[in-house]
Structure 1
Amino acid sequence: MGRIVVGVDGSDPSLKALHWAVRQAELTGDTVEAVNSWEYPATSWASMMPGMPEDFDPQAVATVALTEALEEALGAAGAAAVDKIVVIGNPAQALLDRSEGANLLVVGARGRSGLKATLLGSVSLHVTQHATCPVTVVHG
């Protein structure tokens, strides 16, 4: 039994990737690890956002967002069966780090291609080029 890592940010493509990963895990007996990441902007954004509570916890917000996305997509019982991982850092790098030793890494495709993907920095493009395990990119 191994591990399937899937990137989940709450977007429709990531939820499709989640469904695909769960179905694959049912076939292989692997566990599913849903990964969400967050990062601070390069500048101190707390000072740029008036009204931001001093006790604002981005890790807690990202954890709630991941849990809600999983429950919406899989129901409470399905979400409970998925390992939830929330990390600080670049999404592509977080997925690469978490997928070390995994049987499979699954990501959704945003549908960007060509120049847009190059300029915007596609997570799926990056992980397919750098992952140490097989990668599945789920298209709509």
Structure 2
Amino acid sequence: MSGRIVVGVDGSAPSLKALKWAAGQAALTGDSLHAVTSWEYPATWATALPGVPPGFDPEQLAKKILDESLDKALTPDQAARVTRTVVAGNPVQALVDQSEGAELLVVGDRGHSGFKAAFLGSVSTNVAQHAACPVVVVRGTYTER
């Protein structure tokens, strides 16, 4: 019986590389692939930032980023077989929660963050420390399929 591989995706080049690697691993093991992205913002974010359009929906943006990431990193056949999950909340907690019962959790070594310079790699570091399954942190540069 096959298991499931969870991969964190945020649209960054390292997450695309992690997605590509996870898809290859799933093909080797027969596990299903589950791509996860999350979104969060402070309660006052949508009204406090200038230029945010009325009716802006961060969940829809997260879904779009996830779909575009799969389309960019995987073949159409691979992308069609991926389970897609968008979670409201902190990315570390979302990935740790999704790691429950998984065979493997895969993340890139760097990703998008509200404070990129200060917290580069903080998601991968925290996920590696708290996940309920083995974690692979994919390093290196993304190349087109």
- The answer to whether TM tops 0.5 is yes
The aligned counterpart of 2:39 is 38
Contact conserved, 1:71 with 1:78, CA < 8 A, in 2?
Answer: no
**TM-score scaled to structure 1, two decimals?**
0.87
What CA deviation, in whole Å up to 9, does each residue of 1:49-75 have, x standing for no partner? Answer: 345333221111110111011101113
The one-letter amino acid of 2:47's match is S
Any gaps of 5 or more consecutive residues in structure 2? 141-145
Q: TM-score, normalised by structure 2?
A: 0.85
After superposition, the CA RMSD in angstroms is 2.0
Q: Are 1:101 and 2:101 an aligned pair? A: yes
What is the identity, as a one-letter code, of the residue corresponding to 2:13?
A: D
Indicate yes or no: 2:8 matched with 1:18. no
CA distance in 2, matches of 1:105, 1:40: 24
Q: Residue 47 of structure 1 aligns to a residue in which SS?
A: helix
In structure 1, what is the equivalent of residue 84 of structure 2? 84
The gaps in structure 1 that reach 5 residues or longer are none
**Whole-Å Cα distance in 2 between the matches of residues 49 and 108 of structure 1?**
29
- Per-residue CA deviations over 1:15-69 (Å, capped at 9, x if unaligned) read 111111011101110000000000013x501222345333221111110111011
